[in-house]
Amino acid sequence: MDWRTKFDSLKSRIEARNRIITETGHYWGIDKFALLDEDPVKFNRFNARLISAVMAAREIGKYVAASPAATGMGELVFGLLTVEGDCMAASTGLVGHSATMPVVLESFCELGYDVNPGTKHGDIWECNDPYYGAPHAADCFTWVPIIYKGTLVGWGGGVNHIGEVGGMVPGAVPPIAPNVFVEGYDYTVTRSGENDTFYPWWEDAWKRRTRAGEMNILDNKMRFAGCGMIRDRVLEICEEFGVEYTIQCMYEILEWERATMEKRLQKWVMPGKYKVPFLQPVKYKGKLGMLIPEANKNWLLHWPLVFTLGNGRATYDFSGASNQDWHHYNMYMGGLRFGINLAWYPVFLIGENMHTANIYLMDFIRPPGSVANPTNPFVGTPSSAVMGCRNGQGAMMRALSKALWGRGYVEETFVFEASDYNMYGMSGTFSNGVPWGMSNFSLVGAQHSGARAFMDGGVCDASGQNPETDYGESEDWETIEPPLLNIIRGVTTDYCVHGKYRGGIGYTLAFMVNEPGQFFQVNDSCSMNAEVTTHCIGPSGSYPGQGHAQVYIKKTNMPELIKKGEYPGSFREIKQWIKDGKLTCEEYIINQGEAPPRQLEHGDIYCILAHSVEGWGDPVDRDLYRIEEDLNFDYISPEIAKRIYSAEVVTSDGIYEIEPEATAKARQEILKEREKNSVSAIEWWKEEREKILKKEVGDEEVHVLFEQAIANEKWGNYFREFWGLDKDYSF
C-alpha cells in the first residue's frame, strides 16, 4: 500500500501514512529515491521550483499586510503542504510556525471536512484555534487546496502573527485568560471564502470580534494572497512535470530531508539523557476574584522536560508536568511542535527546504490532563505557543547546545531566550471617543544571545521567532501606539548574567505616556519567568537567565521636565533622577513578568526591562580584558565588576583598567569564602530532606507543584528515590 491507494478520506490516508512510517521507518515507506536516482538534476530542479514558489509568496505577499510585525519584521511564513499536510517547503520568516500547519491539517482531516463539506478550487480555509493545532489565537493560519484536474496535489498555507485578538484583556497574547471563552477570537477550522473571495460575514467578524479589525483583515488578505500565489505556481509545475511526478517527488523530498536530518542527529550530538526543567509562574490571585473563582489563584507550573538523544532519535518526556488548569499556559501539540522547530532549524537544517519531516525523528511522552497535554477543551491557551517555545527553543535548545558541545562541535553551542518576549498589549479611547486596541511585538524581533562555551553573549543578535533578526523601526511602531512616546531604546547597564563568558546585555524600552485621551491601559504578556529564573540550570557554574520586569512610574513631574527638553535617557538615569528628586512620582511600581492591565495617564513612564540570558562558567575565571571592555562599553558598572568578578578597577583619563595582582588576590579570597559558606553534599541533603518532610517549601503554589509532580508515577519515584522516601510517600 502506498499513497496511490484509493482512500475513502484523508483521515484514512493519514492513518496509512503513520502506520507505514512506524513499520518501515521511512516516510510513506520510501526507502529508495526512484525519481532522484533516475534523474538527480530534474529532481533538484523540481525542488528549486517549489522553494522559489513559497519564497515569492512571502516576498510579495508581505507588502499587503498592515501589522509592523508582518511587513517591517517579516513575521510571517508561507508553506507548501502535501495532501496529508506535511510541510515540504516553507519560506523564510516565522519558520517555526510552519511546524503547526500539519497539525491543523490533521484536525481538518480528523473532522472529515474533506468529505463534508468537501473542498474545491478557490476555497479559502482558516484556523487559529490551538485545540485544533494553531500555536495560539494570534497566529492565524490560512490555507487553500491545490487541485490539478480533479486530483488534490497539496495545500498552500500561510501564517502570521496578528496585532490584536479581541480577548477580555486586549493585545495579541492576553496575560489573563483562564478559559477559551475570554481569550479572544478563536475560530475553529473554517471556510472563510470561495472563488478566491472572502465571505462578507468573515470580514465583518474581524471588525466585530477584535479591536483592530481593519488591520487584521489586511493581514488575512496578505495570507490569502500568498497562498493563492503558491497554488497557481504549483499548478503550473504540475503542468510541466506531471501530477504523478509532482506528488511522488514531494514525498521523496520529505523522506530525503528526514534521512538527512537523521544523519546529522547521529553525527553531531552527544547521545544521552538531558534534564532541562524550568518553572512558569502564573499570577491570577486577586485579579479575577469572585468573577471566575476557579481561577482566583497563583501557580508555579512545573515543566520538567527530560530530553533523550539516542541513535538518530529524540525523545521528549514531560512526566511530572503540572496539571492543566484555568490559566492561559496550557500547551497543545501545535504550540509544542512550533517551539521545537524554532530551535531545530538553526541547528539541523541543511539545503533550502524548510520542512516538517523532523517530526518523524521524535517521540513524545505527554501525560494526559497535564499542561503538556490538556484534556479539558475549555482551559485557556494564549500561551500554548509560548510554552512550546520555552520547551523547544528554551529547554531543548539548551540540551542540544550542550549535546553539540559534548560531541566537540563547540562552535555550534548557541542559546538565546525563547520565552522572554514581552509583547505588550494596550487599549484605550482617544480624546475624540474612538476606541482602539493594539499590541507591540518589537522586543521579539531582536533579543540577545546567551554566552557560548567560547564567547560572550551578544546584543540584538537573535530572535525568538525569525532567524532573520529585526526589531523594526520605532518610528513605525509609534504610529500604531500613539500615546506611547518612545523615550528609551537601548541596552541596560548591569542587566546580564555573569560567568567566564557573560550572557547578552539586557534591553530597556521606555515610554512617556503622551496625551492618552479619555482612557489608556497597557499590559505585558509573554514576559516569562517572573520571580524565578528563565531556566533551572545555569551552564557550567554560571547562573540561568534573570527574569524580566516592567517599571511603572505614575503621576510624575515629566510634564514640567519636558518643557525644558529634559527626560531620562536610560534606566540608570531614571533611578538616579528619582534618587536625586529630579524625577518625582506618586507611585513607583516594579512588576516582574506578566502584568495585568494598568491604566496610565499623561506623563507616566512605562519602562520594560527585557532579555537577560545565561552566561557560561565561573565568573572568577573571567579574563580581565573582557571585564575592561564591558566597563568601557558601559555594559557593566565598576561596582558590579568588583562585586561579581572581584576586579580591582582603576581609571586613567576616563578609561577603565583592572589591577591584575590585586584582582588575583581578591579572587583567592572568594574561593576561601566559598569554602566557608558551603556545606558537604550530605549535610545539604539532610537539611533539604527535613524541609520536604516538614513541607517547608515556600508559598502555596510550590506545594501544589510538588503534589502534582509527585502524583506522576515516574517523576514521583525519581523524587522518592532521591530523598530516600518510602514507596508510598506522597506530598
**Range 125-164, binding another protein (CB under 8 A):** none
215 interacts with another protein by CB under 8 A: yes
Residues 6+ apart with CB under 8 A from 633: none
Where does this chain touch another protein (CB under 8 A) — which range of 285-293, 328-336, 375-383, 674-682?
674-682
Single residue of 21, 254, 336, 644 touching another protein by CB under 8 A: 644
Q: For residue 428, give the 3-state DSSP assignment.
A: strand
Residues 6+ apart with CB under 8 A from 240: none
Length of the chain: 731
Minimum distance of another protein from residue 36's CB (angstroms):
6
Nearer to another protein, 386 or 453 (CB): 453
Q: Name the region of 299 (left: φ>0; alpha: ψ -120 to 50; beta: rest).
A: beta
Cell numbers that stand for 309 in this block: 538523544
DSSP codes joined into one string, 209-273: HSTTHHHHHHHHHHHHHHHHHHHHHHHHHHHHH-HHHHHHHHHHHHHHHHHHHHHHHHHHS--EE
52 interacts with another protein by CB under 8 A: yes
Minimum distance of another protein from residue 131's CB (angstroms):
27
Q: Do the Cβ atoms of 546 and 439 come closer than 8 Å?
A: no
Nearer to another protein, 384 or 401 (CB): 401
602 interacts with another protein by CB under 8 A: no
Minimum distance of another protein from residue 31's CB (angstroms):
14
DSSP conformation class of 54: H
Q: How many CA atoms lie within 13 A of 618 on its CB side?
A: 7
Cα–Cα dist 481/477, whole Å:
7
Which residues in the 394-413 window bind another protein by CB under 8 A? 402, 405-412
Minimum distance of another protein from residue 16's CB (angstroms):
26
Which residues in the 61-80 window bind another protein by CB under 8 A? 62-68, 70-72
473 interacts with another protein by CB under 8 A: yes
Nearer to another protein, 326 or 348 (CB): 348
Q: What are phi and psi of 589, to 5 degrees?
A: -110, 125
Nearer to another protein, 325 or 614 (CB): 614
Which residues in the 220-259 window bind another protein by CB under 8 A? 221-222, 224-225, 228-229, 233, 256, 259
What is the largest distance, in Å, between two alpha-carbon atoms of the chain? 82
Handedness of CA 382, 384, 385, 390 (dihedral sign): positive
Single residue of 454, 560, 587, 669 touching another protein by CB under 8 A: 454
Binding string, residues 482-511; x marks residues near another protein by CB under 8 A: xx-xxxxxxxx-xxxxx-xx----x---x-
Where does this chain touch another protein (CB under 8 A) — which range of 14-22, 99-107, 383-391, 692-700?
692-700
Cα–Cα dist 301/550, whole Å:
22
Which residues in the 530-559 window bind another protein by CB under 8 A? 531-533, 536-544, 546-549, 551
Where does this chain touch another protein (CB under 8 A) — which range of 33-41, 75-83, 113-121, 323-331?
33-41
Which residues in the 310-349 window bind another protein by CB under 8 A? 310-311, 345-346, 349
Nearer to another protein, 88 or 218 (CB): 218
Residues 6+ apart with CB under 8 A from 233: 49, 53, 56, 57
Nearer to another protein, 374 or 483 (CB): 483
Q: What are phi and psi of 628, to 5 degrees?
A: -60, -45
441 interacts with another protein by CB under 8 A: no
Residues 6+ apart with CB under 8 A from 212: 162, 163, 164, 436, 437, 438
722 interacts with another protein by CB under 8 A: yes
Nearer to another protein, 131 or 348 (CB): 348
Cα–Cα dist 707/365, whole Å:
20
- The angle at the Cα of 73, spanning 493 to 593, to the nearest 5 degrees, equals 45
Minimum distance of another protein from residue 115's CB (angstroms):
26
Residues 6+ apart with CB under 8 A from 176: 168, 169, 284, 287, 288, 328, 523, 596
Cα–Cα dist 388/386, whole Å:
5
Single residue of 188, 582, 698, 713 touching another protein by CB under 8 A: 698
Cα–Cα dist 406/145, whole Å:
45
Nearer to another protein, 110 or 196 (CB): 196
25 interacts with another protein by CB under 8 A: no
Q: For residue 451, give the 3-state DSSP assignment.
A: coil
Which residues in the 350-379 window bind another protein by CB under 8 A? 350-352, 354
380 interacts with another protein by CB under 8 A: no
Single residue of 313, 572, 689, 714 touching another protein by CB under 8 A: 689
Which amino acid is located at 726 in the chain?
A: D
Cell numbers that stand for 34 in this block: 526512484
Minimum distance of another protein from residue 70's CB (angstroms):
8
Which residues in the 606-635 window bind another protein by CB under 8 A? 609, 612, 616-621, 623, 633
Single residue of 15, 478, 628, 659 touching another protein by CB under 8 A: 478
Burial class (CB in 10 A: 0-12, 13-18, 19+), 381: buried
